[in-house]
Amino acid sequence: MTGRRWAGPSAEADRQAERLVQDTGLPLALARILAARGVTAAEAAGFLEPQLRDLLPDPRSLKDMEVAAARFLAAVKAGQRIAIFADYDVDGGASAALLITWLRALGRAATLYIPDRIDEGYGPNVPAMQALAAAHDLIVCVDCGTLSHEPVAAAQGADVVILDHHLGGETLPPAVAVVNPNRQDETGALSHLCAASVVFLMLVEVNRRMREEGARGPDLMALLDLVALATVADVAPLVGVNRAFVRQGLKVLARRERIGLRMLADIARMDQAPTPYHLGFLLGPRINAGGRIGAADLGARLLATEDAAEAKALAARLDALNTERREIEARVRDAALAQAEARGLDAPLVWAAGEGWHPGVVGIVAARLKEATNRPAIVIGLAGDEGKGSGRSVAGVDLGAAVHRVAAEGLLLRGGGHPMAAGLTVARDRIEAAMARLGELLARQGAGAQGPGTLRIDGLIMPGAVGVELAEALEQAGPFGQGAPAPRFALPSVEIGHGRRMGETHLRLSLSDGLSARLEAVAFGAFDGPLGPFLEGMRGRRAHLAGRIEINHWQGRRTVQLRIEDAAET
């Protein structure tokens, strides 16, 4: 119904899964997931219980890390004035909160500065850096700064340390240290880290140096809730150490010790143990809302505060801003989709630009266009002589590198990012030329040539085999997210029972194998496309279904359900 091909595991993957079952005794459904990830029998136990001590890289493997840690620790020991310049998204806010929380544990404070998205734009700017340098000895730029040559040079009188993960250029700004796994002279082995992970690794190195000097550093394990939040919200791939960061961070978050996240979870009505879904779709968007359409520092302040009254007020404000953000997003999304359709959705790059489109939602709308077309997408908000845009890409197409190149060629005023996401500023009269050039570069990478999207299926299963025990076994292969999709199964020829709408776009169904086994199912957003009408009209008939098996928490009960993602006629 969604126009995607269903592709199951290869015969070789099936054989590997069977071999895993024989060697480990794991359920076949779980063995299929491990086989798809390339996990061997010898690696299975370590994969299912990832330990940070086994996966944490040596911080000193990153260039400039030792210099950055030494300068930061020297500032702490000397009582120097420290400023933190952070990006306005979740990754930037979490990175800032990591440093603020660590410093507070030692009785130290830092000045937090987050630029206004509209007035100042992304990253360090000359006036802000000059003002911070006049009043501080050290400026730590987190989740930004790698391309900020002029602003860093303008910070006269203060040292600058950059902890970032965005794609670097051929030259680096004149900072004391630039720690970034995506510097061009890095190996790329840690390119999957978000900025908060880079900050965490610096604190690991700082704590190590403190131990060598006979001192005890703050508890770093208690900070992993921030690292997990940033990793998921910034859509970093859940591979390698990122899996351990998120797995351990969710355990920390479940303790509800960070007052800001506890207040936000309550206002978002989280009534179960946190999962990556909650980080990415409940907490993350609310924290982002401040940087998108409100005060830029609201999210970071919420994550760093220890004051219950302040946390409650900030959480309420962010929740209200998130509701407002959704309304603005809906208006821009409809206009952008109509414009993109008029331009044609078969090009290597899908793009739209509109007068007054809020820069805080263009990234989300670009993601919606990307999902709808299976192509890289850019959405630009116009104001005056310039447009500020954001883009999202598809797997295998490096949008950040293409944007960086077009900026270097002079068609963009500014631009950069990473493979899956990018930001740019472009002169109004050069938009058409810049988008055409981007389209050329993306076409060379294969954008637009993929054809219909593919829905990856991990195996077949019948309703009678789906239970809470199976769902719990599958969860052991998590956490699931970017780069590590949750397992998806096809249920062949199941009978559609009663169904009822939930709100305007969702549908809840009862499924049966036609004998005695029954299974509850839900299709979120089904009526945004053809899936909802199809399922609603199939009552009492059979269809092939594809979706994810999950545990549903409701009024203290745990039941299993199928989250339907696609359907096909029998």
Check pLDDT > 70 for residue 48: yes
| Residue 222 near residue 200, CB atoms below 8 Å | no
Q: Residue 156 has what pLDDT?
A: 97
Q: How far apart are CA 500 and CA 510, in angstroms?
A: 9
Q: Which residue has the higher pLDDT, 448 or 137?
A: 137
DSSP symbols for 169-226: -SS--S-SEEE-TTSTTS-STTTT--HHHHHHHHHHHHHHHHHHTT-----SGGGHHH
Q: What is the pLDDT of residues 170-196, one digit of tens each?
A: 999 999 999 999 999 999 999 999 999
Task: Report the share of the chain in percent with pLDDT over 90.
Answer: 84
Average pLDDT over residues 123-134: 97
Check pLDDT > 90 for residue 420: no
Q: Give the number of other Cβ atoms within 10 Å of residue 551's Cβ.
A: 15
Least confident of 13-27, 123-137, 523-537, 543-557: 543-557
Q: Residue 451 has what pLDDT?
A: 64
Q: What is the pLDDT of residues 547-562, one digit of tens each?
A: 999 988 776 788 999 9
Distances (CA, A) of 426 to 127, 413, 429: 21, 5, 8
pLDDT category at 344 given cuts 50, 70, 90 is: confident
Check pLDDT > 90 for residue 377: yes
Q: Residue 396 has what pLDDT?
A: 86
Q: What is the pLDDT of residues 489-503, one digit of tens each?
A: 999 999 999 889 998
- Which of 170-173's residues contact partners 24+ apart within 8 Å by CB, and which partners? 172/146, 173/145, 173/146, 173/147, 173/148, 173/149
**Mean pLDDT of all residues belonging to the chain:** 94
Return the bridge partners of 567, or none.
545
- Which tokens belong to 32? 């299929």
Q: How far apart are CA 230 and CA 164, in angstroms?
A: 13
Q: Which residue has the higher pLDDT, 555 or 242?
A: 242
Q: Residue 452 has what pLDDT?
A: 67
Maximal CA-CA distance, the chain: 77
Check pLDDT > 80 for residue 376: yes
pLDDT category at 292 given cuts 50, 70, 90 is: confident
Coil vs helix vs strand at 522: strand
Sign of the dihedral through C-alpha 96, 99, 104, 108: negative
Q: What is the pLDDT of residues 425-456, one digit of tens each?
A: 999 999 999 999 999 999 999 998 766 678 99
Domain architecture of the chain: domains with CATH = 59-319 (3.90.1640.30), 329-444 (3.10.310.30), 457-569 (2.40.50.460)
Average pLDDT over residues 151-168: 96
Q: How far apart are CA 359 and CA 161, in angstroms?
A: 28
Q: How far apart are CA 438 and CA 395, in angstroms?
A: 17
Q: Which residue has the higher pLDDT, 485 or 66?
A: 66
The upper half-sphere exposure of residue 164, i.e. CA atoms within 13 Å in the direction of its Cβ, equals: 32
Q: Residue 3 has what pLDDT?
A: 86
Q: How far apart are CA 21 and CA 38, in angstroms?
A: 14
Residue 566 neighbours by CB under 8 Å, 6+ apart: 1, 2, 4, 6, 455, 531, 545, 546, 547
> pTM for the whole thing?
0.89
- Which tokens belong to 49? 């219980």
Q: Residue 372 has what pLDDT?
A: 85
Check pLDDT > 90 for residue 402: yes
Average pLDDT over residues 58-84: 98
Angle between helices 241-254 and 224-233 (to 10 degrees): 120
Q: Which residue has the higher pLDDT, 374 or 366?
A: 366
Least confident of 133-142, 307-316, 335-344, 449-458: 449-458
Q: Give the number of other Cβ atoms within 10 Å of residue 203's Cβ.
A: 21
CA-based nearest residue to 164, from 147, 186, 149, 179: 179
Q: How far apart are CA 110 and CA 524, in angstroms?
A: 43
DSSP symbols for 365-388: HHHHHHHHHTS-EEEEEEETTEEE
pLDDT category at 99 given cuts 50, 70, 90 is: very high
| Residue 448 near residue 347, CB atoms below 8 Å | yes
Q: Are strands 542-554 and 489-502 parallel, antiparallel or unpaired?
A: antiparallel
Least confident of 73-87, 255-269, 544-558: 544-558
CA-based nearest residue to 231, from 220, 245, 221, 216: 245
Q: Residue 450 has what pLDDT?
A: 65
